[in-house]
Amino acid sequence: MRKVTSGTDTGVSLLAEERRRKIVELLHQDGKVLVNGLAHRFATSQVTIRQDLEALHGQGLLHRTHGGALPVRSAALLDRSLQDKEKLYRREKHRIALAAARQVEEGQSVVLDSGSTTTAVARELRRFRQLTVITNAVNIAAELAGAEVEVILTGGSLRPNSFSLVGPLAEATLRQLSADILFLGVDGFDSAFGLTTPNVMEAKVNQVMLHIARRRVVVCDSSKFGSRSLSLIALPGAIHQVITDRGLSAEDERALREAGIEVTIV
């Protein structure tokens, strides 16, 4: 029997398609869109707008973030300075850092790569008394300098944009070490493509960090999901866990769990 579609259903479908087309136009015009602003503009609920953004994210037309969306290209390729990154998603990063620190035990060795979220983790590790922190981030070493934890700072060439040390010397130092747990920040996390960062040399250092750590945890806010940056660090299967915030889309969460990755949402 042929299914008959009512005119009302067709009208609703066309209305949704038109609204989503206009959302994409506004996104490219303004550089970002917010859920509450779109709900007011289109006189509809925030639930409906979130559904629109999830659908457009699934089509690769935008990058879903906490409270709105960004253009895919700008989310994937932008190499922001550490100072700029620290201004974004501060509350989310603080909650992520607290959850990460709860996984650490006295006497362990922890690797922290450079980044605003891992810097937040470092601040939470200051309370430990018997801990070794291995890092390539000069600012993280400075954060921990007054604490009782032991800090091992890799050598290497300094990247002023991220305060990180990269290059053969940093990689060689890391290869001589072993760690219980790695907390890795990323600039992009595409559940199909993998973990990415804008800098090729940074990616190489991150790859060595993954190799020397027994447990590998990505710490990043939900805005990083669904985007790709220039350099591939690793496939999703290289990590054990992701700690992120409640802005993570249902689609991305499902993809992570299907890949066997533990997902902690804070």
Q: From CA 65, how far away is CA 5, in angstroms rounded? A: 34
Q: Please give the distance of CA 28 from its chain centroid, rounded to a whole number.
A: 23
Give the per-residue pLDDT at 87: 64
Q: From CA 10, how far away is CA 4, in angstroms rounded? A: 11
- pLDDT tens per residue across span 139-159: 999 999 989 999 999 999 999
Domains assigned to the chain: 7-75 (1.10.10.10), 82-265 (3.40.50.1360)
Q: 141 phi and psi, to 5 degrees? A: -60, -40
> Does position 8 have pLDDT exceeding 50, yes or no?
no
Give the SS3 label for residue 89: coil
Please state the rounded mean pLDDT for residues 107-135: 97
Give the per-residue pLDDT at 82: 66
Please state the rounded mean pLDDT for residues 21-39: 89
- Is the separation of the CB atoms in 196 and 188 below 8 Å? yes
Share of the chain above pLDDT 90, in %: 67
Share of the chain above pLDDT 70, in %: 88
Q: pLDDT band at residue 28, thresholds of 50, 70 and 90?
A: confident
Report the length, in residues, of the chain. Answer: 266
pTM above 0.75, yes or no: no
- pLDDT tens per residue across span 67-89: 888 776 544 455 555 666 666 78
Please state the rounded mean pLDDT for residues 227-240: 92
